[in-house]
Structure 1
Amino acid sequence: MIGSKEIEAAAERIAGHVVRTPTVASPGLTALLGVPVTAKLELLQRTGSFKARGATAKLLSLSEAERAAGVVAVSGGNHGIALAVMAAALDVKATVVMPRTAPARSLALAEQAGASVRLTNGMDSAFQLVTRLRDEGLTLVHPFDDPVVIAGQGTVGLELAEDAGDGALTDVVVSIGGGGLIAGIAAALAAKRPGVRVWGVETEGAEAMSGALKAGGPVPVPLSSLVTTLSAPSVSQLTYDHVSALVEEVLVVPDREAVQGCLDLAEHAKVWAEPAAGCLLPAARQVAARVGDGARIGLVVCGGNTTPRELNGWADQFGLL
């Protein structure tokens, strides 16, 4: 299990390379949800998502031999962008494997950063290819099955605990793909704000963690959600162990509500978020209803890597415009 010692060490290591993103009270979301809401704006992070933290922590931990071999990662979008950009900044050659369903902007940004981008037909085959490339000698930077990466993501929770202040939060809602972000945040909050409950949220058709919790451990899950940045084919034992021990519950919301959440974040919070963050709002409504009076909710707005064309297309598909 990752502890505060590992997360604090990661914070010190990456401090000169990533942004300490704002933690702000949101009057608009407070009015919308009917409870006090604080937002951790990770969409303002370098590369547009929290993923820069874990990627940087891992890159800075590599030996000279591992750096010389070059790094490889599998990604539905954000981890690939983060690894490509941060590897270029640290003069490490990067290969990124993505499914063809990944957002075109994500592919372009990874290529523009100088990474070699390899495309596969789906996330399952992407994970298979990255395993083969690792076996051929590249250094794997896994998006979530790595304690160094999880500690890096946990710095989000460390900052949230410090910047929101004692007593400001009763509940924190965090999106789940493979579980690295929520594992790190839950570990940080357990150490720094032990009374705060952590809730996870997935979208229907990207239910790797809720599937694992039902099965008693990681299992492969079918993927059909439009939210590719949450679409891990399974979680890892490492992330499962953290979530099963430290997270209150994992909620599942439809893609339609995640897209509506993006529109609501734009209108009420004045932030441009991707569906992986949009799904926080319908989940937060459920949390507020469960907790009742006295709820004070924190939202980790994990990323903003979507285009107006993409968001308008999804909104039109669901009849939201």
Structure 2
Amino acid sequence: MVGIEEITAAADRIAGHVLRTPTLPSPGLSAHFGVPVTVKLELLQRTGSFKPRGAVAKLLSLSGAERAAGVVAVSGGNHGVALADVAGSMGVAATVVMPESAPARSIDAARASGATVRLTPDMAGAFALTERLVGEGLTLVHPFDDPVVIAGQGTVGAELVADAPGLTDVLVSIGGGGLIAGVAAAFRALAPQVRVWGVETEGADAMSAARAVGGPVPVALSSIASTLSAPSVSQLTYDHVAALVCDVLVVSDADAVRGVLTLAEQAKVWTEPAAGCLVLAAHRVLDRVGPDARLGLVVCGGNVTAADVAGWVQRFGSVPFPPRTAGA
């Protein structure tokens, strides 16, 4: 289990390499939900998501020989872009393995940073190719199954604790579980009274599946939220969630897109479905905990194009969620 000592060490290591992203009250979301809402704007991080935190922490922990061998990562988009950017800035050769379903902008961004991009038919194939490349000598930078990466992502939680005292409930999206593992570890150490909730989308619900059977299992991936689409969580991230997270909520892709529109209108931020899924989940959390809650939303990323959002709105007929005070 990752502890506060590892998270504090990661914070020291990555300082100067990543942004301390804004933690701000959201008047629009507070009015929408009828309770105070604070947003942690990780979509303003370099490369548009929280992922550089773990990537920087990992690369700076490597030996000279491990860096010289070159690094490799498997990614649905954001981790690969982050690793390519960070490795490029450090002069380290990077290979990023992505499924063909990964957003074109992510593939282009990784290549623009100097990484070699390898595409596979699906995410399971991407993990398999990555394993083979590690066997050939490249140094793995796993997107979530690594305590150093989890500690780096945990700096999000440590900053949120420091910058937003008084929260009662924090919502965090889950792909492979590295972000929520780190955030939950930070809150358990620094503000143990705060409830941490995980959120997934249908068709990218590996943590919910793991919780149902008591450990990691493979899942079929179908969600539009490619940045949440891990084919399974790891034992490491599962153990953190089982011990530290109140519950994991699952929403549909259509509702994740409704959340994207709601965040755009009410919070004035441009997010991907991996963050949009938090909105309906927050309504469900309030149904369970009552009107005295003070919510914190970790807005994990904003790497999506206007064409993507327009296509999803047309596909699902999505509209923003009505405010809670209007009977939502």
Q: Do the structures match in fold with TM over 0.5?
A: yes
Structure 2 matches for 1:1-321, cutoff 5 A?
1-165=1-165, 167=166, 169-320=167-318
- The gaps in structure 2 that reach 5 residues or longer are 320-328
Q: Deviation of residue 301 (structure 1)?
A: 0.0
- Separation in 2 of the partners of 1:129 and 1:311? 31
- Separation in 2 of the partners of 1:239 and 1:108? 29
Q: Deviation of residue 34 (structure 1)?
A: 1.5
- Separation in 2 of the partners of 1:42 and 1:87? 20
Q: TM (normalized to structure 1)?
A: 0.99
Summarize deviations over 1:161-210 as a string: whole Å, max 9, x none: 00002x2x000000000000000000000011110000000000111000
SS at match of 2:97: strand
Q: Deviation of residue 319 (structure 1)?
A: 1.1
- Separation in 2 of the partners of 1:320 and 1:146? 37
Q: Deviation of residue 320 (structure 1)?
A: 2.1
For 2:242, give the aligned amino acid: S
SS at match of 1:285: helix
For 2:94, give the aligned amino acid: A
- The gaps in structure 1 that reach 5 residues or longer are none
Q: Deviation of residue 98 (structure 1)?
A: 0.3
SS at match of 1:279: helix
For 2:14, give the aligned amino acid: I
Summarize deviations over 1:122-159 as a string: whole Å, max 9, x none: 10000000000001000000000000000000000000
SS at match of 2:176: coil
For 1:200, give the aligned amino acid: G
- Separation in 2 of the partners of 1:315 and 1:115? 33
Summarize deviations over 1:88-137 as a string: whole Å, max 9, x none: 01110000000010001000000000000000001000000000000100
Q: Deviation of residue 35 (structure 1)?
A: 1.3
SS at match of 1:299: strand
- Separation in 1 of the partners of 2:190 and 2:310? 40
For 2:40, give the aligned amino acid: K
- Separation in 2 of the partners of 1:231 and 1:220? 11
Q: Deviation of residue 51 (structure 1)?
A: 0.2
SS at match of 1:235: coil
Summarize deviations over 1:28-83 as a string: whole Å, max 9, x none: 00111121100000000011000000000000000000000000000000000000
SS at match of 2:200: strand
- Separation in 2 of the partners of 1:29 and 1:122? 36
In structure 1, the partner of 2:322 is none
- Separation in 1 of the partners of 2:115 and 2:190? 37
In structure 1, the partner of 2:324 is none
- Separation in 1 of the partners of 2:186 and 2:129? 33
SS at match of 2:182: helix
For 1:231, give the aligned amino acid: S
Q: Deviation of residue 293 (structure 1)?
A: 2.3
- Separation in 2 of the partners of 1:143 and 1:104? 19
Summarize deviations over 1:199-252 as a string: whole Å, max 9, x none: 000000111000000010001111111111001000000000000000000000
For 1:237, give the aligned amino acid: Q
- Separation in 2 of the partners of 1:256 and 1:32? 19
Structure 1 segments of 4 or more deviating over 2 A? none
- Separation in 2 of the partners of 1:130 and 1:212? 23
Summarize deviations over 1:266-306 as a string: whole Å, max 9, x none: 11100000000000101001001110021111000000000
